[in-house]
Structures are given as C-alpha cells and as structure tokens.
Amino acid sequence: MFEKLHLEELEGNSVVEVLGKLFEKIPGGSDILEVLKEYAIVLVILGTLLALGQCFAGYKLRRLWTTEVGLVVCGFIGAIVAMQFDLPIGAVIGIAVAATILGAVLAWFLWKVGLFLRVLVTMGITVFAICAMNEIPEIGLIAGAAVGLIVAILVVAFEKPMTIVYTSLAGGFTAAALLSTVEQFGFEWWITLILGVVLMLAGILVQALTNRKSAEPKAQENTTEMLGEFMEGLAADEAAAGAEAPAESAATGEAVPEATEFVTADEAASEVIEFRIPEEVMTEAAAEPMAEIKTELLITEPIAEAVEEVQSAANEEPVKEATVAEPEKNVCPGCGKEYKPGAKFCMICGQKLI
C-alpha cells in the first residue's frame, strides 16, 4: 500500500509537514493533497472547530468521536484499496461508502476497541512526527509505538480521567497546530507549543467540572439499596422460619400459623399507614399533650388488620374516663393541720399522734 519508504524522507520542520510527507507516500496521496490545498482555509477552520470540540467535550462525546474516526479511517482505507484494482470511479465510491458505513457501525458498537485503536494510532503517529521533525525518525518508530500502546492501555483501564487528559491534549495541540499553518498568523513553534498547553489545561478543567457527579443522588441510591437489602433479609428470615415450622409442629400436632407476607422495598416506600390513637381512650390529663399522634410505620399486613380492629372497637365502645382517687391526708385531730407521715407529735399544737 505504501511506496518504498525511507524514513529520512519524512523529516520536516513541523509536525504538519511531517504528516503531509507521510500522507504523500500513500497511493494517490499527492493528488488528494493537491485537492485539499484548494480548500485549505475551510479545512483548517473545520478541523480547528472539531479539535476544540474534542478538547472541551472529549469525554462526554467519546463514543461520537470514536465513531467519527472509525468512519473517516475505514472510508479512506476502502477508497485506497479500491483504487489499487483500477476499478471504475463509481465502484471506488461505492466501496468507500460501504467501508465508511462499516467503520462507523463497528466504532459505535465496539467503541472501547475503537477508542483503544484511536489512541494507539494518533499518539503513535504524533510521537513519530515529533521525532522526525527533530531528524530522529528511526527512534520515532519505536517511541511512537511504545507511547501509543501505553497511553491506549491507560485510557481503557482508567477510562474517565485518562480520556479527559488524552482528548484535551490531542484536541488542544491539534487546534494549535492547525492554526499555525495559517499564513496570516505566522506562529513560531514556541507560540504553537504554549497555545497547545493552554488549550489542553483549559480542556482538562472544563471537562473535569462538567463531568462531576453529584453526591446526593449517590447517597439516595445507596439508601434505597440498603432498604431493599434489609427488606429482602426480613423476607428471607420469614421464609426460613416458615420452612422450619412444619417440622416442629409435626411432633406436637399444632397447626402452623400462616407466614407473614412482608412488603417489598418499593411498596414500603409508597404505602405509609397513618396510625391515630382515639381521644376516648386517653385520660383528661393525657389528652391535652397527646391529642393526635401520627406515626409512619413500615408494617406487615396482619399488623395493619389488627390496628384497624382495635380502632373500630374503640369507636363502637368508648372507654369511660378513668378517675384517679386522691391519696388520704394525715390531719392532726387537735388543730386540724396536716402533718408529715410518720410524725409522733403535731408540730403546731403538740398533740400526740400515735
């Protein structure tokens, strides 16, 4: 697919220049580059916008970016392979379109595999281009393969943080490199480097802030999960007790009571029983501070039925108000004054009490 490749021919003064020379080695690459140069400004603007989108929304749209890369790469490879068989232009376009659709579908459903390959290729080529720019392309082949493989493994292993870092780095430096190709800007290499670093740091900050998860939904989820486990445990204990009861009652001949049916976690959360103590069953002293008691209980159906029976019985036959007998007072027979229990003489008149 490639012409005979001499690494020294790929040396250049910038990463973009190195990538352009590498692209020329692809069959038909020179003709494609000539066409692309006619729309250079449009492609630079479009490429810069896409790079900035990846820089600031790389993790949130990671599946979309991977699908986009799979679409472009597979379509490009399909067109180049079709051109090698001297097929009519219609057949070449058809094969390219089919390869594009296939690449998009595979990248969408196997996006983690696509993410791994995307990171491996882009980081490998970037490191190679940097080394070729510094006239060490041989080292660039080894370094590019090693760096690309390491970064790809880290991105898949630590998906969120490493994807944020990778997309911010790739998007930021790609945007800076594309802007440096515009003659009106005339960026020096160090300006491109600084711009890339600034965009990368800004991208990491923005993505970190926009992809934070709130702690409150997590706490609610944990609470619901714990409640569900608790109710399931109660149901399991009741089922185990019901299974052991027939064996015990077989020896005694006693009837086995029906097992209590526990409500599920969802039913317990939605069904809240209001329990009210009738005022008729309370004394006059207790009625004022405890006029109405409302308690939210998670109870079983048999207990609920018992509560209803108690309430209906209390409404039909109200309990008479209880009377409290006053305690007998100790009064002196001589002066009529009250004395303390156990006293032998009245402290007022001196009357003997015992």
Q: Which residues contact 234 (CB under 8 A, 6 or more apart)?
A: 262
DSSP 38-94: HTHHHHHHHHHHHHHHHHHHTTTTHHHHHHHHHHHHHHHHHHHHHHTTT--HHHHHH
What is the per-residue pLDDT for 51? 93
Structural tokens at position 186: 């005339």
Residue reference for tokens 């802030």: 209
- 354 residues of the chain, pLDDT tens digit each: 444 567 777 777 777 787 778 777 776 677 777 877 888 889 889 999 999 999 999 999 999 989 988 888 898 888 888 887 888 888 988 998 999 999 999 999 998 999 999 999 889 988 988 888 888 888 988 999 999 999 999 999 999 999 999 999 999 999 998 888 877 666 777 888 899 999 999 999 999 999 987 545 555 666 677 777 777 777 777 676 666 555 555 555 555 455 445 455 455 444 444 444 445 544 444 444 444 444 444 445 556 666 576 667 666 555 455 455 556 678 888 888 888 887 778 888 878 777
For residues 232 and 240, is the Cβ–Cβ distance under 8 A?
no
Structural tokens at position 20: 């352009």
Sign, CA dihedral 44-50-54-57, equals positive
User: Hey, which residues does 274 pair with through a beta bridge?
Assistant: 296
For residues 24 and 31, is the Cβ–Cβ distance under 8 A?
no
What is the per-residue pLDDT for 54? 93
DSSP E strands, the chain = 273-275, 295-297
Sign, CA dihedral 241-243-245-247, equals negative
Structural tokens at position 24: 């020329």
Structural tokens at position 335: 């002066």
